[in-house]
């Protein structure tokens, strides 16, 4: 069901599939196998989740059993995933509000939270939704370092290592609450920011 293209300059792997729930596990298996062969296993979990969400998006918004294809590319320290289908209708902007019980774009919100970059575009035969995942491993480490510096300065503590767990919890809560108040004062959406932060955390923790 899969084949390779342009192996030299930009490794590319194409997986044709029919949009059905039973095919999603096959997509995950293909992604896992191909990333392993590219020595890009660091993003396997994220890539499998992206493939699942993009495949599910086709099932929900284009139709069951329609023809589609997943394209994997390795380029410039990133893994790019694209899902092509035959519908020209692009997804609604993520800025549109969506009730918790609604399914509009929730998968795309999750993809946006994990992705280095993502987007959608019309093609000659329909559309493609794409997502790029960075292979650089320093993201969480860099965040941890920034957080330690912020907490030390914020609480006027010499080092976060001198704080017990309860004090750290209180300080982090104060920082988050103050940031949300500050964002609201600037005209931003604190609840939206909090939700996006949670999605980022859950995607990366997984």
3-state secondary structure of 149: helix
What's the pLDDT at 98?
A: 47
**What pLDDT was estimated at residue 7?**
44
Q: What is the pLDDT of residue 144?
A: 56
For residue 198, the model assigns a pLDDT of 84
For residue 161, give the H/E element and its range.
none
Which pLDDT score is estimated for 92? 72
> Could you list the pLDDT tens digit for every one of the 206 residues in the chain?
445 544 445 799 999 999 999 999 999 999 999 999 999 988 888 899 899 989 999 999 999 999 999 999 998 889 999 999 999 998 876 444 444 444 445 567 777 777 888 899 999 999 999 999 988 754 555 555 555 656 655 554 444 455 567 777 777 788 788 878 877 777 778 888 888 888 877 777 76
**pLDDT value at residue 202:** 79
| 63: alpha, beta or left? (left if phi > 0; alpha if psi -120 to 50) | left
Domain limits of the chain?
3-134, 140-205
Which is it for strands 117-122 and 78-85: parallel, antiparallel or unpaired? unpaired
**Res 85: pLDDT:** 96
Report the topology of domain 3-134: Heat Shock Protein 90 (3.30.565)
Q: Please give the Cα distance from 56 to 72 (Å, whole number).
A: 17
- Rounded Cα–Cα distance for residues 12 and 14 (Å): 7
What does the longest C-alpha to C-alpha distance in the chain come to? 60
SS3 14: strand
Position 28 scores a pLDDT of 92
Backbone angles phi, psi at 86, to 5 degrees: -100, 15
């Amino acid at each position: 069901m899969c084949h390779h293209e342009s192996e030299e300059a930009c490794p590319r792997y194409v997986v044709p599939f029919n949009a059905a729930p039973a095919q999603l596990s096959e997509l995950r298996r293909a992604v896992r196998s191909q990333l392993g062969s590219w020595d890009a296993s660091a993003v396997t979990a994220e890539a499998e989740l992206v493939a699942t969400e993009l495949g599910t998006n086709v099932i929900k918004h284009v139709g069951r059993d329609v023809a589609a294809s997943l394209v994997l590319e390795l380029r410039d320290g990133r893994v790019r995933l694209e899902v092509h289908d035959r519908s020209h209708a692009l997804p609604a902007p993520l800025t549109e509000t969506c009730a918790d019980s609604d399914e509009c774009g929730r998968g795309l919100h999750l993809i946006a939270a994990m992705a280095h970059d993502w987007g959608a575009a019309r093609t000659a035969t329909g559309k493609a939704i794409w997502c790029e995942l960075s292979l650089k491993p320093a993201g969480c480490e860099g965040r941890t370092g920034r957080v330690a510096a912020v907490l030390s300065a914020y609480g006027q503590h010499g080092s976060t290592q001198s704080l017990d767990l309860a004090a750290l919890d209180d300080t982090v809560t104060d920082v988050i609450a103050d940031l949300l108040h500050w964002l609201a004062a600037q005209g931003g959406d604190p609840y939206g920011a909090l939700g996006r932060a949670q999605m980022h955390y859950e995607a990366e923790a997984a």
